[in-house]
Structure 1
Amino acid sequence: MTQAFSSKGIIPLIACILFFSSCQTQTEDQATAGKDDAAAQAPLEPLTSENAVEVLTAFEKENPDSLILISTRHGDIKLRLYKDTPLHRANFVRLTKAGFYDQGEFYRVVKGFAVQGGDSDNRTIKQGPYKIPQEFKPKHIHKRGALAMARYGDEQNPDKESSSHNFYIVLGEPRTMEELRAFEAQHGVKYTPEQIKLYTSIGGEPALDQQYTVFGEVIEGMDVVDKIAEEPVDSQKWPRTIVQHKIKVVEQ
């Protein structure tokens, strides 16, 4: 795929969908269990579309964790998960505690746009073929450093349900007021003065607002995200050298 999602100007939504829907390829339903390294991890009951919400709702009540540490060969990234996106937070914490993300990597990188992780061709832990209902919140925008869940495109996924495991961290560049007004009209939103200040100063990707669920943000280590974004990539935006991640829950 060519880089149709330039960080300058209005990003066509279709390009964004093409990028993030690619997260769902190959390994989501093809992972196999039973390898020795998987046996050492906490049990992970595979979920289905029928039981995912019930299981995640129950898990969220018993696991209020909201701080996450992603470790890579470039350094550590610390994130805070939002309390008002409980299904996404519970899902991320659940997979993290089971060691699922320790078998993943940042497998797709678009400099100036986003880095995407979660999947790996070497995964052995199976999580099931479920999706997460969207939890769009107008106050959670795709500012630089936002953590969000990838998903299939609208044709396959009209309800905009999130991937079970693939996530991305936003990069982006500062936006102009003209761009923000255009995105407001396109998405039927109204940015607050604080959100406008964020987008015009640190930047982000407003084309993705109300299209993908933002459920957290980087609170330390954006320099590490920038280093990942500098990785040389192939024509499909896959890093030529694996950027594996280890993810764990940290104390509040």
Structure 2
Amino acid sequence: MKLNRLLLLSLLCFGISQVSSAQLFKKRRDYLLTISTPWGDMHGILYNSTPLHKKNFLKLVNKKFYDGLLFHRVINTFMIQGGDPQSKGAAQGTMLGEGDVGYRVPAEILPNIFHKKGVIAAARDNNPEKASSGCQFYVVQGKVWDDKTLAEQMKRSPLRTYTPEQQQVYKTIGGTPHLDGNYTVFGQVLDNLWVIDSVATQKRDSNNRPLKDIAMKISCKKIKKKKITAQYGYTDWL
């Protein structure tokens, strides 16, 4: 009887160990995005600390929702925006930006995640909850700020309090600090930030739509985090 109990205990411990190992292995992997443009590919990750946005974006990517859509709004030294389903095949000159998927994603605005160059953030309308569009997003280009201009920008942000590290990023890498606290940032580009510059500097009409269509394609693949770190130097895993 005692032997049977020991055997049962061993089996239970083995089962728990197996579950824990499986969970640990799952945590060691994450999704790597590939955002393709006419100028080349950018690779990126989505933050685990914004799970609603991550889940929604991956759902759309896996459905190939974004393939063939346009970067329909580009503003140099600010950002590039896309994800309007009405942009696919839209005639030149058509005003875009009103297309959506019929739902919003609740805001996930966090003080430690800010609008540095290369982050992926959710577009939205003026709803008071700051809930995000179900599909439209933007990638920050921004610009580099000095002490004086950064202080002026930070006054425009509801975030108000910035760490010295965040301020240093804005003064070296750049970004759009006045957007902090207003929109959900849920991921970031890890390489080829110059692609953002290439898109943002294109000639555009009065509605900031590029005169020449800029189509995108987005895919994702789940790979080991240590491989992402080795290839792109990313270690934050927010």
Structure 1 match to 2:5 = none
- TM-score normalized with structure 2 length: 0.73
Alignment of 1:226-245 (within 5 A): 226-245=197-216
- The answer as to 2:88 corresponding to 1:88 is no
Structure whose alpha-carbon radius of gyration is higher = 2
Q: 1:170 aligns with which of 140, 145, 149?
A: 140
Structure 2 gaps, min length 5? 1-25, 90-98, 224-238
- The answer as to 2:170 corresponding to 1:199 is yes
Find the aligned partners of 1:117 and 1:188 in 2 and give their Cα distance: 25
Residue 180 of structure 1, CA deviation: 3.6
Find the aligned partners of 2:179 and 2:63 in 1 and give their Cα distance: 29
Find the aligned partners of 1:184 and 1:240 in 2 and give their Cα distance: 33
> Does the Cα contact within 8 Å between 2:46 and 2:186 map onto a contact in 1?
yes
Residue 182 of structure 1, CA deviation: 4.1
> Does the Cα contact within 8 Å between 1:145 and 1:217 map onto a contact in 2?
yes
Residue 106 of structure 1, CA deviation: 0.6
Q: 1:71 aligns with which of 36, 41, 45?
A: 36
SS class of match (1:210): coil
> Does the Cα contact within 8 Å between 1:144 and 1:205 map onto a contact in 2?
yes
Find the aligned partners of 2:67 and 2:148 in 1 and give their Cα distance: 42
Find the aligned partners of 2:87 and 2:114 in 1 and give their Cα distance: 33
> Does the Cα contact within 8 Å between 2:123 and 2:133 map onto a contact in 1?
yes
Coordinate RMSD, CA, aligned = 2.1
- Can you list the C-alpha shifts for 1:116-137, whole angstroms capped at 9, x where unaligned? 011243559x974100000011
> Does the Cα contact within 8 Å between 2:159 and 2:180 map onto a contact in 1?
no
Q: Specify the code of the residue in structure 1 equivalent to 2:138.
A: Y
Q: 1:128 to 1:168 in 2, by over 3 A?
A: closer
Q: 1:220 aligns with which of 183, 187, 191?
A: 191
Q: Specify the code of the residue in structure 1 equivalent to 2:43.
A: K
Structure 1 gaps, min length 5? 1-60
> Does the Cα contact within 8 Å between 1:143 and 1:170 map onto a contact in 2?
yes
Q: 1:69 to 1:238 in 2, by over 3 A?
A: same
Find the aligned partners of 2:164 and 2:49 in 1 and give their Cα distance: 21
Find the aligned partners of 1:173 and 1:140 in 2 and give their Cα distance: 17
- TM-score normalized with structure 1 length: 0.69
Structure 2 match to 1:109 = 74
> Does the Cα contact within 8 Å between 2:155 and 2:178 map onto a contact in 1?
no
Residue 181 of structure 1, CA deviation: 3.5
Q: Specify the code of the residue in structure 1 equivalent to 2:196.
A: V
> Does the Cα contact within 8 Å between 1:103 and 1:120 map onto a contact in 2?
no
Runs of 4+ in 1 over 2 A off after TM superposition: 120-124, 176-186
- Can you list the C-alpha shifts for 1:37-84, whole angstroms capped at 9, x where unaligned? xxxxxxxxxxxxxxxxxxxxxxxx9xx843211111111011111110
Find the aligned partners of 1:128 and 1:224 in 2 and give their Cα distance: 27
